[in-house]
Amino acid sequence: MELNGVRVSRETQERLQHFAQLFQKWAKAINLVAPSTIDGLWRRHIADSAQIFQLHPATDHWVDLGSGGGFPGIITAILLAEKGAGHVDLVESNQKKAAFLRVCLRECDARGAVHAIRIEDAPTVIHNCDVISARALAELEMLLDYAEPWLHRNENLCLLLHKGRDYERELQKARGRWQFDLVKHQSVVERDSVILELSHLRRLN
């Protein structure tokens, strides 16, 4: 099986398929993603989420903010299992979604842990990380504020953020308060989407 042109093992394929089955089951009871997008689960959500890990496959410690339906956090955790190393901390304050995420980690034998806490409280529990990911969570300026406590502990911290067509406006606004290096990765799944890779972050005021 290939994800975005990258071949994955049969074991990983089975884990992803099991995750998809769990997702379909739980989505009938709780709102994991917009209902109109469930039919496109594999391309719209799973393959789209896999792009994050594929940009930094050597990274071992991830934090995924607002993990919700498991995107991209659970997909990252499954791909880390194929690597046989690494860990992703999934932060999701909604208790029902957090329960779903825990079931997915356990049944898919994925590498991660779920923290059912507010994002603002996460740095007191998760003390360090190398990469922060987030998908369809908040505007860039707020995401940078969320990341700041970890930035103080790791000056090499990197953010990988899914963004839609309005990302230029968010970048312009964030640059009023932050300095950072930026790489824009065109989504291989959604034509109007990008993944913003931010590093060397420094608050200006």
Helix (H) or strand (E) holding 175: none
Reported as a single tens digit per residue, the pLDDT across 38-69 is 667 888 889 999 999 999 999 999 999 999 99
d(CA 110, CA 58): 16
What local confidence, expressed as pLDDT, does residue 38 receive? 62
Find residue 65's DSSP bridge partners: 91, 134
Answer positive or negative: Cα dihedral of 31, 54, 104, 25: positive
d(CA 42, CA 200): 33
Under the banding of pLDDT at 50, 70 and 90, the label for residue 34 is low
Kindly write down the DSSP assignment for every residue of 24-89, as one continuous string.
Answer: HHHHTTS--S-GGGGGGIIIIIIIHHHHHHHHSTT--EEEEES-TTTTTHHHHHHHHHHHT--EEE
Which tokens go with 52? 């994050």
Reported as a single tens digit per residue, the pLDDT across 125-159 is 999 999 999 998 999 999 999 999 999 999 999 99
Under the banding of pLDDT at 50, 70 and 90, the label for residue 36 is low
What local confidence, expressed as pLDDT, does residue 90 receive? 98
Mean pLDDT throughout 23-45? 80
Nearest Cα neighbor of 41 from 61, 57, 62, 20 is: 20
**Taking 70 as the threshold, does the pLDDT of residue 123 lie above it?**
yes
* Of 6-15, 54-63, 150-159, 172-181, the least confident: 6-15
Which of left, alpha, beta for 136 (phi over 0: left; psi -120 to 50: alpha)? left
